[in-house]
Amino acid sequence: MTLQHLMTQLNLDPELLQAKPYQLSGGQLQRFNILRTLMLQPEILICDEITSNLDVLLEQQMSNVLLNYYEETQHGMVIISHDMAFITATVERIVIMRDGEIVDDFHKKYLFSAERHPYTQQLLAVYDVDWRSKK
């Protein structure tokens, strides 16, 4: 992954390389931090709320960047997020934690299964899913 390739993927203008950090928006700073990390190609990438400060369009781009990173490197990723739309667009396996303990672990296609842990169901209640009708 080259600098120019990542700059394009992260929708960052090359002129921003000359800017001081205080001249950048929160989203631009977030994307530069991601760029810097991806250039190092860590064997395990841990992303904690990686889409904070990003709008919906940039969030979709971030999902694409992470998927491309995985395809190119085959390196593992742990993505920590409360954004279920981002999670389901980016990962295959979902692990739900509560109070530091794993309470649910499943493939994303089973997200709305009635077999989900009650805490998972509670987190997903905002999607107004009738859990009794899911198998």
**pLDDT tens readout for residues 27-41:** 899 889 999 999 999
**Measured distance CA(21)–CA(24) in Å, rounded:** 5
Domain total of the chain:
2
**Are residue 66 and residue 103 in the same domain, yes or no?**
no
**Are residue 74 and residue 101 in the same domain, yes or no?**
no
**Are residue 58 and residue 124 in the same domain, yes or no?**
no
Encode pLDDT of 41-84 as tens digits: 999 999 999 988 788 888 898 999 999 999 999 999 999 998 88
**Are residue 25 and residue 75 in the same domain, yes or no?**
yes
**Are residue 65 and residue 105 in the same domain, yes or no?**
no
**Are residue 26 and residue 54 in the same domain, yes or no?**
yes
The pLDDT value given to residue 131: 55
**Are residue 23 and residue 61 in the same domain, yes or no?**
yes
Judge contact between 6 and 17, C-beta under 8 A: no
**13: CATH:** 3.40.50.300
Q: Residue 109 belongs to what domain range?
A: 92-135
The pLDDT value given to residue 49: 92
- Is the whole model's pTM more than 0.85, yes or no? no
Tokens matching residue 100: 């530091």
Other C-beta atoms lying within 10 Å of the C-beta of residue 51: 25
The pLDDT value given to residue 7: 92
**Are residue 123 and residue 102 in the same domain, yes or no?**
yes
For residue 116, the 8-state DSSP code is: S
Tokens matching residue 74: 């085959």
**Are residue 67 and residue 97 in the same domain, yes or no?**
no
**Are residue 58 and residue 109 in the same domain, yes or no?**
no
Over 80: is that where the pLDDT of 1 sits? no
